[in-house]
Each structure stands twice: as structure tokens, then as C-alpha cells.
Chain A
Amino acid sequence: AQSVTQLGSHVSVSEGALVLLRCNYSSSVPPYLFWYVQYPNQGLQLLLKYTSAATLVKGINGFEAEFKKSETSFHLTKPSAHMSDAAEYFCAVSPHSGNTGKLIFGQGTTLQVKP
């Protein structure tokens, strides 16, 4: 069964510092991979997705992620953190073939941005 592991339930960075949120997946076949952000009391917003095209994926709000098959990783980065980036971030995986989309989430990482 596919699964997603997010390393670090809580990440704290200073404003302007690099943001790195880690995600590893387990799958014999590279799946579709997603990063979502959730602000307090809101739904999930798609940041970016990997669907077997370019391995470096650029998303909204200056975020990007790199798919590394050899490391089964899909880490999320942003060069310079803003206060508005403080939120919950979820990595998620969907099987690559023939499905109606059973999206499986990691446990989430809370990003704190300090002034």
C-alpha cells in the first residue's frame, strides 16, 4: 500500500530564511504527488503537483518541489519565508493508474515563521 511520510511535525524558520519541508513516499511505481497548504479554519489549497513530467515542479506563492525517484522524496522548498506562509502543509500521494483518486495524506507539518 502506498504511504507518505512527512519528516518533522513542526518546522520553525525566521522570516526571509529558507523553507524546507520533507516528504517521502513509498510506492513501487512513482505515483502522483501533491503538496497542499491549509490555513486555520480553511480547506486545502493545492500548492503544486508532480505528474511524471518535469522533476522540478514550481507552484504558487514561490514554492517548488523536486521529485527524486532514487530517494523516493518530494521535498517542498521556498527560498525566503514570509509571515503569511505560516500554515499546515500536507504532502499527498495518489496512485498512478486506474483509480477515481484515493488521495492519501501525510501527517502534516506545521510551519511557524518568526519575525
Chain B
Amino acid sequence: DTEVTQTPKHLVMGMTNKKSLKCEQHMGHRAMYWYKQKAKKPPELMFVYSYEKLSINESVPSRFSPECPNSSLLNLHLHALQPEDSALYLCASSQGGGTVGYTFGSGTRLTVV
């Protein structure tokens, strides 16, 4: 299995809703990432988990809450989002560094209404 699987592929939520994005990989990668990508822009790093511990938080608002239940799963819990949070949310994994590269999922297209 050489894929990163993200669910759901599309999500529409209201500003008072609570929802979660899920990411799963079975490549044995020990680093997992959340990126946010706005239209016509490059992905922006949000969080990095290394060996199931949060190692980087790029000053992301607290309405985004990451969770890494185990080495294969990464969640992003969403609460009280704003319309400007609408974007493509990408999950990625890597074998702990840059030598091998990063495998990206196909993303969750989030729309906040």
C-alpha cells in the first residue's frame, strides 16, 4: 500500500458545526502532516506529527485541532470555522525526513458556509 487516504473528499459545514477530517497511511511512515491549500496557491504547512507527537504547529488557530491516535492515523478536528477557512486540506506522510519524499493524499475540499 503506497497511498495516503483522506476522507471525506468533500465537506460542507456551517460555522457552528463540528467536523473531522481523517487521514490514513499504511506505509510505516513515522511523520504525518496537514497542509492547507487555497485556490491558485501552494500548500501551507499547518501541523507536523513525528512518532505520533506534535512537533510543529505553524501558529494555526485553535479552531483547528489535530490528533494522531496511532502511527497510521491523523485527524483534523474542526470547530467554529470561518468562511475564509474554505480550502483544500491535504494530508501527507514521510519516512521521517526529506530523503525519501512525501506522499500526499488527494485532499478534502472543505467549504464553510
Binding site for B on A (CB under 8 A): 31-32, 34, 36, 41-46, 49, 51, 90, 94-96, 99-108
Q: In the complex the two chains form, what is the Cα distance from A103 to B96 in whole Å?
A: 12
User: CB of B45 within 8 A of chain A?
Assistant: yes
When A43-B107, A90-B42 are in contact, do A100 and B50 touch as well, CB less than 8 Å? yes
B34: chain A residues within 8 A (beta carbon):
none
B106 touches A103 (CB 8 A): no
Of B40, B42, B90, the most chain A CB neighbours within 10 A belong to: B42
When A100-B55, A101-B33 are in contact, do A44 and B98 touch as well, CB less than 8 Å? no
Binding site for A on B (CB under 8 A): 4, 6, 31, 33, 40-43, 45, 48, 50, 55-56, 88, 90, 92, 94, 96-99, 101-107, 109
10 closest A-B pairs by beta carbon, nearest first, are A94-B98, A32-B98, A105-B42, A100-B50, A43-B106, A44-B104, A43-B104, A101-B94, A100-B31, A43-B107
B90 touches A44 (CB 8 A): yes
B109 touches A94 (CB 8 A): no
A-B contact number at CB 8 A: 70
Which residue from B98, B105, B109 sits with its C-beta under 8 Å from A99?
Answer: B98
Which residue from A41, A42, A95, A108 sits with its C-beta under 8 Å from B98?
Answer: A95
